[in-house]
Amino acid sequence: MPFIPHTEADVRDMLAVIGAETIDDLFDEIDPRLRNVSLDAIPEGASEQEITRLMRERAGRDEGGLCFIGAGAYEHHIPAAVWEITTRGEFYSAYTPYQPEASQGTLQVVYEYQTMMCGLTGMDVSNASLYDGASALAEAVLMAVRANRKSKSRRVLLPKSVHPFYRQVARNICANQAIDFEVVDFDAEHGTVDRAALDRWAGEDVTALVIPQPNFFGALEDVDALTDWAHDNGALAIGVVNPMSLALLKAPGRWGGGDGADIVVGEGQPLGAPLAGGGPYFGLLCCRKKHVRQMPGRVVGRALDADGCDGYVLTLQPREQHIRRSKATSNICTNQGLLVTAATIHMSLLGPEGLRRTAATCAANTRALVERLTAIDGVSRVFDGPYFHETVLRLPMAADAALEALAERGVFGGLALADHYDGLNDTVLVCATETKTAGDLDAYAEALAAVLETHAAPA
């Protein structure tokens, strides 16, 4: 029996101790009408060898392809040690550190993670992580509504330059919380928050302004001005960042002329999580110390034990659902523990110099890619202005068809934006991380040139 150690003698003896005849007797309190189940649609069990063969065959089908898609999930090199250590059974098969004396490994990892996140973002405190970047934005919005006591409007300004999926998730998770999400358009020239559109809300009661950096188009927002705008209008500034970019970009804790952003969230995936078809990733959430009690999710703090030695515990638990029940700051009762373990090991291996080199190589590769692609007739950048490691290109044909033809040539050329933005037909969001070589960039350019040529001169 897979994963069950009992011998026939065990079962016999155990039933005797219980005073039951058969295992089925143990279910005799349950209405007999419920106890006649057939599971025909489920296959018979298979051996590990059989499953291995099946999974290798299926994984093989999905292999290959040169990936230039970003849009919130990024291909990075993950050092071998990261998952070798993360999948040690002591990390992999432990649970939430309810007994701190028996969980110091997990707890210290989270404390180190929180410290690294504070360092990267320039914020005071970090939680132990949330599910992913999009749900972290939803939680940040709810947190801002709790934390900004001076604002009564529950109005949150959500620029269109924020990832479209993040905007959807924030709306869906906050759907029954009477949050008034207001869209702020982007500037057609730069692809960044349109200052005139934002200024329409100047002087109004605004609870929070969401500031993406880099934004969904890869473009760099004028974060200083936006943060100051928020604070001048009594709103909290919620930063949405890519942690990898922070090696090159100003820490959100230093945005603007005052104390910086109030809450910072982001997708942690670039820090050691494989793409894996969409998850598991993790959401980072940091804030100013004065808002710490409004923060959702788990937090680890340093504590002293009975011998006066330093150690780590889950702290601020009175905010959480198991104590506060219907009045909790969130219903969240886990973090993405294993991903945080991987991220902490990943950041330790990279260190400040490794992170800087990785981020700079991403930026340089994307610039080199853009140079190659815009050298092709009819291909141009849609927005000008500075960017990190992604940008939007216009193609001389429908983007969907171009991407499909590129995929047939083994190149995943980016994300078509037509489905997400009116007026961005024939455009793709492209990204080249540090994993790409000059040869890879050439391969993309050659494939695109061939696709466009075929399109221009159909057989």
Partner 1 sequence: MTEQLIFERGQPGRRAHAQAPRQAPAVDDIPDALARDSDIGLPEVSEMDVVRHYTRLSQLNFSIDTHFYPLGSCTMKHNPRACNTLASLPGFLDRHPLAPASHGQGQMCCLYELQEILTEVTGMDKCSLTPMAGAQGEFTGVAMIKAYHDHRGDHHRDEILVPDAAHGTNPATATMCGCRVIELPTDADGDVDIAALREKVSERTAGIMLTNPSTLGVFEQDILEIADIVHGAGGLLYYDGANLNAILGKIRPGDMGFDVIHMNLHKTFSTPHGGGGPGSGALGVGSHLRKFMPIPTIGRRGDGAETRYYWMTEADLPHTIGRLSAFMGNTGVLMRAYIYARLLGRDGMTRVAEYATLNSNYLMARLKDAGFEVAFPDRRASHEFIVTLKREKSQFGVTAADFAKRLLDYGFHAPTIYFPLLVPECFLIEPTETESRETLDAFVEAMVAIREEARADPETLRQAPTSLPARRFDEVAAAKRLDLAYDAGSSAAA
The CA–CA distances, whole Å, from 250 to 245, 255, 352, 366 equal 9, 7, 14, 20
The H or E element spanning position 16 is helix 8-18
Phi, psi of 402 (to 5 degrees): -65, -45
| Nearer CB in complex with partner 1: 403/424 | 403
Interaction of residue 338 with partner 1, rule CB under 8 A:
yes
From the list 291, 288, 298, the residue with the least C-alpha distance to 323 is 298
Identified binder of partner 1 from the candidate list 8, 40, 457, 459, rule CB under 8 A: 40
| Nearer CB in complex with partner 1: 60/423 | 60
Q: What character string, x for contact with partner 1 (CB under 8 A) and - otherwise, covers 103-142?
A: xxxx-xx-xx-xxx-xxx-x-xxx-xx-xxxxx-------
In three-state secondary structure terms, 348 is: helix
Interaction of residue 81 with partner 1, rule CB under 8 A:
yes
**Whole-angstrom Cα distance, residue 354 to residue 78?**
12
Where does residue 188 rank: exposed (0-12), middle (13-18), buried (19+ CB within 10 A)? exposed
Q: What character string, x for contact with partner 1 (CB under 8 A) and - otherwise, covers 396-435?
A: -------xx--x----x--x------------------x-
From the list 168, 230, 166, 236, the residue with the least C-alpha distance to 193 is 230
Interaction of residue 275 with partner 1, rule CB under 8 A:
yes
CB of 127 to partner 1, least distance (A): 9
**Whole-angstrom Cα distance, residue 365 to residue 294?**
40
Interaction of residue 32 with partner 1, rule CB under 8 A:
no
Q: Left, alpha or beta for 34 (phi > 0: left; psi -120 to 50: alpha)?
A: alpha
Is the Cβ–Cβ distance between 139 and 128 less than 8 Å?
Answer: no
Contacting range for partner 1; rule: CB under 8 A; set: 227-235, 321-329, 375-383, 441-449: 321-329
CB of 192 to partner 1, least distance (A): 11
CB of 360 to partner 1, least distance (A): 4
**Whole-angstrom Cα distance, residue 334 to residue 128?**
9
How many residues belong to the site for partner 1 (CB under 8 A)?
A: 204
Contacting range for partner 1; rule: CB under 8 A; set: 143-151, 188-196, 197-205, 270-278: 270-278
Interaction of residue 309 with partner 1, rule CB under 8 A:
yes
Is the Cβ–Cβ distance between 413 and 372 less than 8 Å?
Answer: no
Q: What character string, x for contact with partner 1 (CB under 8 A) and - otherwise, covers 167-206?
A: -xx-xxx-xxxx----------------------------
Q: Left, alpha or beta for 260 (phi > 0: left; psi -120 to 50: alpha)?
A: left
| Nearer CB in complex with partner 1: 200/324 | 324
Interaction of residue 445 with partner 1, rule CB under 8 A:
no
CB of 327 to partner 1, least distance (A): 7
Contacting range for partner 1; rule: CB under 8 A; set: 73-81, 145-153, 370-378, 451-459: 73-81
